[in-house]
Amino acid sequence: MTGKLRLGVNIDHVATVRNARGSAYPDPVRAAKLAEEAGADGITAHLREDRRHISDADIDGLMESLTVPLNLEMAATDEMQAIALRHKPHAVCIVPEKREERTTEGGLEVAKDENRLAHFIAPLRDAGCRVSIFIAADPVQVEAAARIGAAVVELHTGAYCDLHAEGRFEERDAELQRLREMSAYAHGLGLEVHAGHGLTYDTVGPVAAFPEVRELNIGHFLIGEAIFRGLTPAIAEMRRLMDVARD
Ligand code: PXP
């Protein structure tokens, strides 16, 4: 059942570099167009409540110029819902957000907030957006995501990647096994399965090999790697490693 694995390139951190100086460059929309030419199957951008990287104008620019689908990551707030309903991107990925965090640290606690989230995503679905829920590899969250009517779950690979980076290989392998089981479980419940967060050339292979995973969303590492080899070769190498793992 190994269909094509899509690569969504997250361009948030092009905006991080721009915003560090309050300049107009580097432009994340230009990076997104380049990523598209380099073979990205989609572009992911996280419009955070504090606008620390991607801005509202960036979302306008992405919607105007992309030919591949935009996956808009956002918190489940009224403000973000209104923005998503105005743009109607191909996909909306609901993520937890805390202002004090450096990045999206954990998955969404869907089970604890099931009613509100079901109501929150209904208009997005009605508007034609594919709604994805970013969750940890936890059966309770997978089941809740299915119950609220999400089309997709994105499994959080951050813990797996951190354990790898810290050399805690037994725990890494246990987390990888949880991710593997949850991708099969979610697929069995009728959910499309995506994965992402913290993936690098070293960690992408085992996740890309899960047959049920249809999309990986990767950003921070690729934007960093682009400093050394350029964005196009950085993406091409990620694509190659994904294809090798999928064979
Ligand atoms: N998927 C989701 C839901 C995310 O929030 C992020 C980070 O914005 C990513 C994937 C990409 O993570 P990274 O930038 O670490 O590759």
- Please write the tens of the pLDDT for every residue from 192-214: 999 999 999 999 999 999 999 99
Query: Beta strand pairing status for 42-46 and 152-156?
Result: unpaired
For the stretch 115-126, pLDDT in tens is: 999 999 999 999
Q: Is the pLDDT of residue 145 over 80?
A: yes
Does ligand 1 come within 6 angstroms of the Cβ of 154? yes
State percent of the chain over pLDDT 90: 94
State in Å: Cα 220 to ligand 1 middle: 7
Give the distance (Å) from ligand 1 centre to CA of residue 194: 11
Residue 126: count of CB within 10 angstroms of its CB: 9
- The pLDDT value given to residue 1: 47
Out of 46, 53, 87, 194, which one is annotated catalytic? 46
pLDDT of amino acid 203 = 98
CATH class for the region spanning 6-246: alpha beta
Tell me the average pLDDT across 83-87: 98
| pLDDT exceeds 80 at position 182 | yes
> Which pLDDT belongs to residue 53?
96
Tell which atom from ligand 1 comes closest to the C-alpha of 134: 3
Domain boundaries, the chain: 6-246
- Res. 105 pLDDT band, cuts 50 70 90: confident
Mean pLDDT value across residues 165-171: 98
Q: Give the model's pLDDT for residue 101.
A: 72
Asked whether the predicted pLDDT for residue 28 surpasses 90, the reply is: yes
156 CB less than 6 Å from ligand 1?
no
User: Looking at the predicted structure, is the pLDDT value of residue 189 above 80?
Assistant: yes
Q: Is the CB of 141 under 6 A from ligand 1?
A: no
pLDDT at residue 2 in the model: 58
204 CA to middle of ligand 1, Å?
13
Q: Which protein residue has the closest C-alpha to ligand 1 atom 9? A: 197
Is 0.95 surpassed by the pTM of this model?
Answer: yes
